[in-house]
Amino acid sequence: MKIRRAFAVLPTCIGLVACGTTGERGTLAELERVEPDTDEVFLDDSLTLAAQSYRRYLEETPQTARTPEAMRRLADLQIEQEYGVIGGGAQLVEMPVPDSAPAQEIAAGGSGNGPVVPEESELEFEQRASQRQTFLTSSTQFDAELPEAEAGVAPAGPSEAIETYRRILETYPDYERNDQVLYQMSRAYDEIGQPDDAMLIMDRLVAQYPFSRYVDEVHFRRGEYFFVRKKYLDAESAYGSIINIGSGSSYYELALYKLGWALYKQEFYEEALHNFIAMLDHRLSIGYDFDEAIDENDEHRVGDTFRVVSLSFSNLGGPEVVDEYFSTNGQRSYADKIYGNLGEFFFGKLRYDDAASVYKSFVRLNPFHKVSPHFSMRVVEIYGEAGFPQLVVESKKEFATSYALDAAYWTYFDVAESEEVVALLKTNLTDLANHYHALYQEEALLDERGDNFREADHWYRQFLSSFPATTESPQINYQLADLLLENEDFGGAAREYERTAYDYESYEKAPAAGYAAIYAYREDLKSASDARQPEVKRATVASSLRFAETFPQHEQAAVVLGAAADDLYDMGDFHAAIDAAQKLIERYPTTDTALLRSAWAVIAHSSIDLAEYADAEHAYMSVLALTPADDDSRPAVVDGLAAAIYKQGEQANLLEDHRAAADHFLRVKTLAPTSDIRTAAEYDAAAALMKLEDWSMASGVLEDFRADHPEHELNTEATKQLAFIYREDGQTERSAAEHERIAAEATDPELSREALLTAAELYDEVDAIADATRVYEQYVTEYPRPLDIALETRARLAEIFKAELEFERYHAELNAIVSADRDAGDDRTDRSRYLASGAALVLAEQTYGQFVEQRLIQPFEDSLAEKQRRMDTAMAAFENLVAYEVAEVTAAATYYIAEIYVDFSAALLESERPAGLSAAEKVDYELVLEEEAFPFEEQAIEVHENNFELLAAGVFNPWVQKSIDKLAVLMPGRYAKTEMSSGFVGAIQAYVYRMPIAPMIGPDGQQLAQRPEAGNDSGPREAVVETGGGEPL
């Protein structure tokens, strides 16, 4: 059973060992992270059985090619039985790092590999970090099958193993694994405490087998041997040999690390840095993440490396050396770790300025590095620890500027993923704003007040622009508003208070901020320029209304709302003013009476301006209800009420609802009897009634008006209106009497003149001839000008006197007309000439009548002389008419002149014959008369033909027609033909020139009647005067 057990175990051992030797050698990282593998650990009885088997094999078997292999493995097992390790590849076991102080964060949320301030001294650190590495060998490896060992073979010790290795080397110098034999032999010497012998064997190995798979480990052991004995130059060579092999060696990283230390010990700090940096570069190249801890041993070595790098830089100079090094040798992605450790190294040494300079230098060179904000903040902390307050402030300002949310830094990083940096920014902005605000308030710093204000303002605004909606934002905003108010920037303060009050959710000081905004706006109003006043007032009102809507329960809400209503009214925004005032009344019905009264007043005044007069009336009534009877403001309110009612009347008038208008106007007398508007309202009520032609009621209102207001300036107008009303109501004489009253009371001469003339015309209209004549005569006496109207009036007087058969007065008026026109000078007009020409024609017709009346009787000479005198007088009178240049009068004068010749001719022929003539004498006398009369007839024909010739000029009138008729009698052969019939005359009337006649103007400036054109004899007023022949002029 023992033999079976031995055979059962041996293949297992062979297989396990074979598995351990045939695989590829691991990398350095794999070696450092190898965990214990129980599959490669032999049980004690297995090692014994295996050793017995090899020993038995060697004793009983002749030498073969397998003999050296069996000898080597037997020696390996002997070492393993003694020391628990097997040759064929070793593991390094790094010494544990002594406990040190916890890592001190660079800043809140610093990187995982933050710099460490250890408790151990630099000497302790050097001793620990550079100490000799401890090796553990792995199990012996088997590559070929050997006979099973026999049970019961006693183990041998290391000395026997060393002897076995020596025999292999001597006996089998060409054994392919002699490098491994030398390797195991050197390790056996190490294990038994003979390092010098081990060193000799290692020297032999590297000399004879420079390409052995063990050469890098052997070089490393040699380096460690030299390093411990402070043979740093030899150690440098040994470590360098491994580095020359390259990164494929599992000892490459350790070689770099220890070479760095070897150089450091020789004070070759820059060369040492090259190797430490190379080690970190290598670590980076194999995927090491400096920001994430993977293995405790890894972290220790990396941390130690960073610390020795800091020591090296410190020994080389100051902070500037770091920049220079990387500038010369190239930047590294892990440079932040180097700068951070160096900064903390200086900080630990109380070299605060150097520590801060290192951090600032990194930030300056790497402004967009992820850790730059933390380094910047670490500068702040360092200056704080050092007790440099001004540098703390300056550092905070640099931080706040560099990492403001609109800074270039954030083009590389997502704000949402940088909570720690954002939190630091908020802290710095808040600290800076509060710091400068406090300095601004210092009485002792008045000279610096402006600068401190600008700084505080800047940092408050930076915070708010960066963090518009954080929990701290409303308080910061409030403080900014306070700062602006303290600096008397009232407009800016008001806007910031508003933002504080309304732009944030659930801020407990929001009502106070809202009220402060209104206060600030009203302070701004006091100093605002005229140009800015409207803008500031609008802002004040808007803020007030918003406050009242948002905080209706605030103790000042009603007052604020009332002030806003007043302001809106002053600004002319009447709808908004009414809305604000109504809200005050509805929401705060029990508030102070004066406030309610003011609100009703705003509604009343605004409604007036908006033409909402019924609402205004209601509001004024409400104001009166709240106003004591003895209040000085009550009369003004009454006037407002009267105005509201009066305006309703005006609106009704515009809508032509004159009855409603009159009712409104008359209500003023009832509801506001003391108002100054009352008189105008009563007067306008009468006017509205007049439009309704309610003459009776209208006259009653006006009569009451004159009685109630005897001294009122509208009395004259009332009289005018009464005059009109009486006239329209058919009470013409009463109307005329009112016009006389107007003329008598008027201070305006023109008004008096017009009224007097109208009175006369009204009397004339109803045939009150005596009153008409009286007033007409008064008029022409008092108002000889305007000339035309005065002459028209005299012409009417002439008509009246003619109708009354008062011919003396009639002719007197005609002469007055002629004289007034003759003496008018520049005032003479076409109309005056026309009227004068007519009057002169009538007077001339008197001379014609007198001429015609004179018959030629015996004694012939006497009657002839009288006849000729009268003829000369008449001829002169008619010839003078031509000077008036009135076509119709000229034609009449022409006609009468021709008729004078006709009459004279006829008078001669019809003259009384002398008595006692014989028949022959009578014949001769007749012939003589005919001869004397004929030239006069011829002359008459010639003159009548002058009128006829007017037809060619387009002039036709009754006098032309009379001349034509006379010509037909005088020359029937020529003028009494068919073509001269009425048909011809009627045909040419289409071409008659009609002379324009100036209109007659009444005393009120209105055209009284239009005289018909020449040739039109219609109308009762047409003939101002009539000729003796009864033909109208």
Cβ atoms of 1001 and 792 closer than 8 Å:
yes
**H/E/C letters for each residue in 228-297?**
HCCCHHHHHHHHHHHHHHCCCCCCHHHHHHHHHHHHHHCCCHHHHHHHHHHHHHHHHHCCCCCCCCCCHH
Q: What is the pLDDT of residue 46?
A: 72
Contact at 8 Å (CB) between 840 and 895?
A: no
Q: How much is the pLDDT for 972?
A: 86
Distance from the first to the final alpha carbon of the chain = 182
Is the pLDDT reported for residue 853 higher than 90? yes
pLDDT tens sequence across 84-143: 655 555 555 444 434 433 333 333 333 434 444 456 777 777 677 666 666 544 433 434
Q: What average pLDDT is seen over the chain?
A: 83
What single DSSP character describes residue 1026? B
SS3 854: coil
Identify which of 121, 130, 93, 367 has the alpha carbon closest to the alpha carbon of residue 258: 130
Least confident of 606-615, 659-668, 742-751: 742-751
Question: Could you give the 3-state DSSP secondary structure of residue 536?
Answer: helix
CA 854 to the chain's CA centroid: 105
Boundaries of every domain in the chain = 1-95+131-212, 815-1009
Instruction: Return the axis-axis angle of helices 178-191 and 215-228, rounded to nearest 10°.
Output: 30
Instruction: Return the CATH architecture of domain 1-95+131-212.
Output: Alpha Horseshoe (1.25)
- The partner residues of 1026 in beta bridges, in order of sequence, read 1032
What are the pLDDT digits (tens) for 623-633?
999 999 999 99
Residue 1025 has phi, psi (to 5 degrees) of -135, 160
List 955's β-bridge partners, or say none. Answer: 993
Report d(CA 778, CA 640) in Å as an integer.
48
| Least confident range of 349-363, 500-514, 951-965, 1004-1018 | 1004-1018
- The burial class, CB within 10 Å (0-12 / 13-18 / 19+), for 107 is buried
Q: Which long-range contacts (CB under 8 A, 24 or more apart) does 733-741 make?
A: 733/762, 733/763, 733/766, 733/768, 733/771, 735/762, 736/760, 736/762, 736/763, 736/766, 736/768, 736/771, 736/775, 740/775
Greater confidence, 1022 or 596? 596
Q: Taking residues 868-873, what's their average pLDDT?
A: 95
Q: Which two tokens stand for residue 869?
A: 């005198």
Q: Residue 57: what pLDDT?
A: 79
Task: Report pLDDT digits (tens) over 938-968.
Answer: 998 999 888 888 888 888 889 999 988 988 8
For range 784-793, the mean pLDDT? 92
The whole-angstrom separation of Cα 149 and Cα 982 is 182
pLDDT of residue 983: 37
| Beta strand residue intervals within 721-866, DSSP E | none
Cα 60 to Cα 80: distance, rounded to the nearest angstrom: 24
Query: Which distant-in-sequence residues (6+ apart) come within 8 Å of 1014 by Cβ?
Result: 887, 888, 957, 994, 995, 997
Helices 860-881, 830-853: inter-axial angle, 10-degree rounding? 170
pLDDT for 85 equals 53
- Measure the CA dihedral 557/563/569/570, to 10°: -150
Return the H-helix or E-strand segment holding 137.
strand 134-137
pLDDT at 290 over 50: yes
Q: What is the pLDDT of residue 1021?
A: 34
Rg of the chain (C-alpha set): 70
At residue 56 the predicted structure's pLDDT band, cuts being 50, 70 and 90, is: confident
| Distance, CA of 38 to chain centre | 81
Which of the four pLDDT bands, split at 50, 70 and 90, describes residue 275?
very high
- 352 or 80: whose pLDDT is higher? 352
pLDDT tens figures, 878-912? 999 989 988 899 999 999 999 999 999 889 988 89
The token pair at 776 is: 């007409």
| Residue 414 or residue 157, greater confidence | 414
b/e string for 915-953 if b means 16 or more Cβ within 10 A?
eeeeeeeeeeeeeebeeebeebbebbbebbbbbbebbee
| 1000 sits in which H/E element | strand 1000-1001
What is the reported pLDDT for 118? Answer: 52
* DSSP one-letter code for 709: -
Residue 394 has pLDDT above 60, yes or no: yes
CB atoms within 10 A of CB 5: 12
Q: How far is CA 897 from CA 767, 968, 1031, in A?
A: 39, 17, 16
Count CB atoms within 10 A of the CB of residue 670: 9
Task: Report the alpha-carbon angle 943-948-950, nearest 5.
Answer: 105
Tell me the percentage of the chain whose pLDDT exceeds 70.
83
Rounded Cα distance between 613 and 852, Å, is: 81
Rounded to whole angstroms, the Cα distance separating 130 from 259 reads 10
Least confident of 121-130, 438-447, 750-759: 121-130
Strand partners, 993: 955
pTM for the structure as a whole: 0.57
Assign 684 a pLDDT band (cuts: 50, 70, 90): very high
Mean per-residue pLDDT for 177-199?
91
**Does 593 have pLDDT greater than 80?**
yes
CB of 380 closer than 8 Å to CB of 392: yes
Going by C-alpha positions, the residue among 399, 402, 405 that lies closest to residue 382 is 399
1007-1009 and 90-93: which strand pairing? unpaired
pLDDT tens-digit map of 905-944 = 889 988 899 988 888 988 998 899 889 888 988 998 999 8
State residue 151's pLDDT score: 40
